[in-house]
Structures are given as C-alpha cells and as structure tokens.
C-alpha cells in the first residue's frame, strides 16, 4: 500500500464524518431559526431538510473531488501534511457555507418582517 492510498483511506472517512456531524448539528439547531423566518413549521422543516441535503451533496462532493488534487506522498510527514491541509480546507468551506446560508436566510427574514409590518 502506498502512502497516497493510505492518505485517501485516512482523509475520506474523516472528511465525511466531519461533514455529517456538522451538518446534523446545523440541521438540528438551525430549525428554530428557519421557523422564525418562514413562520410555518412544516415549511421550515421541509426547507431545513433541503438545506441539509444540499449541504451534504456539496461537501461530500468536494471532499471526493479534492482527492484528485493530492500531491504525491512519499513519507509519513508528507502524508500528515497533505491530509491535514485537505481536512482544513473542508472545515473552512463548511464555515463559509454556513455563514453564506445565515446571510441569505437573514435577508429572507428581513423581507418577511417587512411584509408582516
């Protein structure tokens, strides 16, 4: 087994685990926020589920695509370096997507408040 294969075996499960755990936490805790925007519980739940599926597809897809960009790894130091760099990029993208969603939903919330008043 090459170091590259080992790096893929280490990277993909960790990246997918991080994506699933963070996605579930955001889904579970963000429902109240989505409900406050849309006002209807069923609509908020449906939109929250759609956001979760889109989040999973985007992040798992990105995690898999980044595998092709791995550099050749010839020792343990390079393996740790490459895996940590790729995992850090996943975490940063997760944070960016989360903040983008909050910004977009906050615009929706402001417009719904304006329509109510």
Average pLDDT over the chain reads: 86
Count of domains for the chain: 1
Is the alpha carbon torsion for 65, 66, 71, 77 positive or negative? negative
Closest CA to 93 of 9, 7, 12, 15: 15
Band of pLDDT at residue 110, cut at 50, 70 and 90:
low
Domain range for 61 = 3-116
* 8-52 pLDDT, tens digit each: 999 999 998 988 998 899 889 988 888 888 888 898 899 889 989
**Arithmetic mean of pLDDT, 76-103:** 90
């Amino acid at each position: 087994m090459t170091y590259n294969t080992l790096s893929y075996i280490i990277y993909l499960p960790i990246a997918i685990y991080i994506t699933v755990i963070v996605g579930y936490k955001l889904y579970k805790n963000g429902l109240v926020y989505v409900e406050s925007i849309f006002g209807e519980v069923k609509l908020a739940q449906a939109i929250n589920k759609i956001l979760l599926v889109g989040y999973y597809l985007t992040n798992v897809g990105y995690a898999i695509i980044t595998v092709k960009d791995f550099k050749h790894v010839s020792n343990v130091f390079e393996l740790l370096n490459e895996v940590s760099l790729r995992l850090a990029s996943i975490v940063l993208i997760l944070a960016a997507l989360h903040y983008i969603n909050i910004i977009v939903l906050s615009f929706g919330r402001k417009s719904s408040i304006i329509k109510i008043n």
